[in-house]
Every structure is written in structure tokens, then in C-alpha cells.
Chains A and B, each alone.
Chain A
């Protein structure tokens, strides 16, 4: 009788791994919160694009548009005080990790009120106190840093884990090998999350790898690994939740390949001659936000009207952030040599 009463935990299979469907057990408010985060990323990037077009970005930006489900699904699957490291295409990770939109936007415009006081820009947004160990301008540059953070977690026994985001291009850097090898021999609590968005700048993954799945590199390190649909928030959430649990009991690291696609060019100066409009259109058809929204509406967690209100709310929040950034002061030239040394 007792056994019959105990609710069966729902399990699903993702790329051969049987994982608990933790998503279905979440509060509706968290499910809606994740949609809000995806909207924030989408509209933050849209606004950034406008800034680029108007020549207000001194330098470049790499937009995360189209990849929102990976950042949001992964970061909502870990604890608030866990660590992440991000990439040059890092706005999405930072927003999902809870970065303040005003302060982020101010940094993009090189303002003193920005996360880095205008010294870092788009590629170096970090908030170490909240566990965001930083975007990184060097492809693969943060994989070692993330691994070191995981070593801290192990040495201090602080119960935290690390999610290390990087792209397909970074998987061919030496630091990928050196770091994952070390994490594997020391059983470090870290999830290596490779965002395969099909191109490393202009070079297609199929020209840069002689293997079908980047996650197959797990065999080289004797670790777990799998490839998931990175445009499906529920799948990302459930996968990372599962390995989050594994890492916390000493069964890390893991290599997750999240298949997604960047809708925009590599950076602001990309004519996109290496891919076809048809291909991009196809991927836009797999919009992670539309797909997630449909799930929420189908499950009656959200109605169309609420969704429209939510998106409107986010848009006005982003407009506020843009206004804050525009109206913020630039740094004083005399601050140029500040913050070099502690």
C-alpha cells in the first residue's frame, strides 16, 4: 500500500542517459521566470544590435540570439551560488546568472556605471561575487579558470559546482584538453557545456572536427558526456540538473554538447557569406523561445495574454536599461591606470 502511494518519479531518456524529469516538478512561477529570462536575453540582444547599427558600441559584440535555452536551462538547473564561466558570446550567460540589465548595458556603452567601470566591455562582463567568473575574449580562455574554480570547490569542500560554457571552436584549443584531463583525474565538480552553434566564426563544425559528436571526446577522458537539443529548454534543464547532482557527489566532470545556432553573424562585421539564408531560416524555425512558450501554453501554465504582457514588460525593462546606459557618465580619463593591481 505504502509503495503504491509513493509517486513514481518521472524519468526520460536523453542521448542514452536516463535522467529524472525535474522540470515537471518545478513551480509554475519558476517555469515562467525562465521564459522571462529568455525574453530578457532576446530583447537585450535586439537593443544591443540597435546600438551597433547606430554606432554606439565602441568595439564589437557577439550576440547570443537564438541560443537562449542553453544559458537559461543550464543556469536554472544549478544553485544561485554556484560558479559559471562564460565566453565572448556571453550576454546570455550573464543575464541568466542574474546580472543587472542596466549595469550590463552601461558596460557595453563603455560607461563608468558598467560592471567593469567601462574597462572590460561586452567580452569581459563578470560578477565574481555572484559566481559569474567572467566572459572571456579568448576562445577557450575560461576553460582552465572554470576548472580551477572547481578545484577550489573540491579543496574547500564548499558544496558548489561549476558550469563552464564554451563554444564548439574552443573544443579544439589546447586548454580544453589540458583542463578536462585534469578535471577527470581529480573528479572535479564541473559541467563542461559546449555550445555547438554550428560555426566557429565562419568555419563550420564539420570542417573543424573529424567526429560526429563533440561529446564523443568524453571517451578520451573516461568521463560521462552526451549531446542534447540546446534549443529545448526542458531538455537542457533536465540534463544539467541530472549532472549537477552527479557532480555534487563526486561523479564529475561531464561534457555536455548543446546543439544550437546563432541567428546573427559572428560579430558586428560579419557578412555571413559562409552560410545560406535558408539554413538560418530553418534554425529560426526552431526558435527556443517559441518552443518553450508552446510548452507552457499547452500545459496551461501560461495563457497567450500573459505571455504578451510578460514580453512587453521585458521590453520596457530593456528600454530602461538602454536609457540608464545612455545617460550614464563615461569614466574619467584619469581612471585609466586604476585597477591594474590590487
Chain B
């Protein structure tokens, strides 16, 4: 084993799948010579050539339309949408076409499509390049939604997503790509991290904290701090795949802790954690000692100024406060 960054792990998953399966190809903006806006596909043009690393004009809707059409006719495209904000430009193709083709056709088609996209804020890129739009896509039956929080999961989840016969929205976080704090040992061989399985990233018995993507790392930081400073032991659950959702891993945890804090980066109103909260209330009410509480983004677009941006997006101290408040 050797250590990889999140970005390297994602690249390796694609390289290995492309070596194994000639129907896997990449399509997106500036992914060839440039190597993608964040450098994820650097070097792939040299190995796989222009036929399989397909640079496109700036036409997100057509990128997803073309990827969808090729998926139903036997290819396994990985489409890159540079910023997750731009999935809205392709929304007809995602929501009305890719997601529904199988159902509308009575189960007689499959759409093995992966849409990789970079989400999240904290980069000073402001309102149109920082959003967390996972709730928007997780709401649509027919789509699967994946948000890895670390290199090991990123590789295994991407391999599972490419192997899956359904459209998968694979949302990467920009602040994880080259994050030296979360470099990990990643196996050289191919492996799958199954879709629909959450992961306990830290065990604890005082309170459960469920989080997505970069907020898993922030929650782990908060948990370590509280453990050292106050002897509070948080159980941190990485949701990993929003749809299908592994609600059981959360229910099992609250049986032990009796309390659940949900942490996400998106604005709190209508966010994905509302779904988690509702399901836990419906299925786990008897085990709860307190209401489910959410720590999430503020109800505004992601602002530019660092001061405002840090106010909008939850940080370690807000998570800490949330935990302490919930523990009373």
C-alpha cells in the first residue's frame, strides 16, 4: 500500500477501470491536455488518447445528453461537470432523461452513467462555484448520489459507481482533492466500496454525528477536540451514499447514543439532512433522548468574503457547539 490524495485515488479508479473495460470513457470540459479544472484527469490523455478522453465544447446539457445516449447504447461514460453548480445547466438531461429512462421504458433500458462533479465551498469562489446541490439530485428517483469523504472511499466508491448500471452523481469536494490532512493508504488493486453502505469513521458512545463529504472531516476534528478537552466520545458516521441511503447504520448508532447531530454544508432549508432527520424520527423515535438536530449551511448563497463564507459554511467550532448543546 501507498498513500494517495483524494484526487489521486479518484484518478486511479478511472485509470484502472479504463484499462480493464474499453467501454469506459471520459467526457467533459478541459479534461484532456489541461487535465480538468482541478487536475483530476492529468496524464490520462497521454495514456488513453483523444478517443477516450473526450474534450467537449462548453455545453453541459449536451455533455450529459451525449453521455446518456452512449450509456443506453453500450458505453459506460464518466462525464465530468467542472463545478457541481453547472449540473443545473444539464438538469433536463439528468432529471428528465437519464434518471427516468429505465422507469419510463418499463425497465427495458439501463443507463450506466457516472457524472463526476466538484462541489462545496470554502475556496472563495462565491455563489456560482461553491454550492452543495446534493439534495436536488438525491430527491430524484432513478439517480444514485455518492459523496466520498476520503481517498480510500473515493477510489472504491468510484469503481462501484462505474460498475453500476444506473446513473450515479458522484460529488467530489474541492477542499479534499489535495488535502494533505487526509492522505490515506489506498490499495493498489481495484476494490469496491459498496453503494448504499455508510461507514462509522469514529466510534463513540455519547452522541452520534452523521455527516457528508468534507463535513465528515470537520466532524472528526470536532470529535477529537471534544474527546481530548472534555472526554466526550462522539460516534462519527459518514453517510457516503445519499441514495441509496443506509439508514440502519444511523439507527444502530443512536440505539447506543440516544442522540443524533446531522452535519452538512448545504443551506439547512430543504437540505438532505432533513430526510435523515425525518427517517430517524420515524424509525428510531424510541431510542432518541433528544430531538435530531442539524448543523448546516446558512440560508443564503455562498458569499465571497472570507468572513462571510466562514459564517455560511459550518466549521469545527459550530459542530462542537452543536454537539455540546445537544448533550445539554
- Residues of chain A touching chain B, judged by Cβ–Cβ distance below 8 Å, are 83, 85, 114-120, 124, 126-129, 133-134, 136-138, 141-153, 155-156, 174-175, 177-179, 181-182, 185, 338-342
Q: Which residue of B lies closest to A117 (CB)?
A: B106
Asked, given contacts A119-B103, A144-B61, A148-B66, whether A175 binds B93 with beta carbons under 8 Å apart, the answer is yes
| CB-defined A-B contacts under 8 Å, sample of 6 | A120-B106, A126-B108, A151-B75, A155-B75, A340-B141, A340-B142
B106 touches A339 (CB 8 A): yes
Instruction: Contact check, A145 vs B25: say whether CB atoms are below 8 A apart.
Output: no
Known: A133-B69, A342-B166. A145 touches B97 (CB 8 A): yes
What distance in Å separates the Cβ of B167 from its nearest Cβ neighbour in chain A? Answer: 10
Is there contact, CB below 8 Å, between B105 and A179?
no
Cβ of B123 under 8 Å from chain A: no
Q: Report B-chain residues with C-beta under 8 Å of the C-beta of A117.
A: 106-107
Q: How far is the CA of A56 from the CA of B67 in the complex (A)?
A: 37
B255 interface residue (CB < 8 Å to A): no
Instruction: Name the A residues within 8 Å of B104 (CB-CB).
Output: 116, 119-120, 124, 126, 134
A-B contact count (CB 8 A): 150
Kindly state the interface size class of chain B when it binds its partner.
Answer: 35 or more
The answer to whether B74 touches A341, judged by C-beta atoms less than 8 angstroms apart, is no
Contact A133 B72, beta carbon cutoff 8 Å: yes
Q: How far is the CB of A124 from chain B (nearest CB, A)?
A: 4
Q: Are B62 and A179 in contact (CB under 8 A)?
A: yes
Query: Is the pair B108, A178 in contact by a Cβ cutoff of 8 Å?
Result: no
Query: Would you call B106 and A149 a contact (CB within 8 A)?
Result: no
Using A117-B106, A128-B109, A342-B164 as known contacts, list a sample of 5 further A-B pairs with CB atoms less than 8 Å apart, ordered by residue number in A.
Answer: A117-B107, A126-B105, A145-B68, A178-B62, A342-B165
- In the complex, the answer to whether A149 meets B72 with C-beta atoms within 8 Å is yes
B residues near A (Cβ < 8 Å) are 25, 51-52, 56-57, 59, 61-75, 77, 92-93, 96-97, 101-111, 141-142, 144, 164-166
Specify which chain A residues have a CB less than 8 angstroms from the CB of B25 in the assembled complex. 155
Q: Given contacts A146-B69, A149-B72, A155-B70, is CB(A119)–CB(B106) below 8 Å?
A: yes
Chain B neighbourhood of A137, CB < 8 A:
96
CA distance A101 to B62 in the complex (A): 33
Which 6 residue pairs across A and B have the least CB separation, nearest first?
A: A144-B65, A148-B69, A178-B62, A178-B59, A339-B107, A116-B106
Contacts of A174 in B (CB 8 A): 61
Give the chain B neighbours of A116 by CB distance below 8 A: 104-106, 108
A150-B72 Cα distance, complex, nearest whole Å: 11
User: Which residues in B have their C-beta under 8 angstroms from that of A134?
Assistant: 101, 104-105, 109
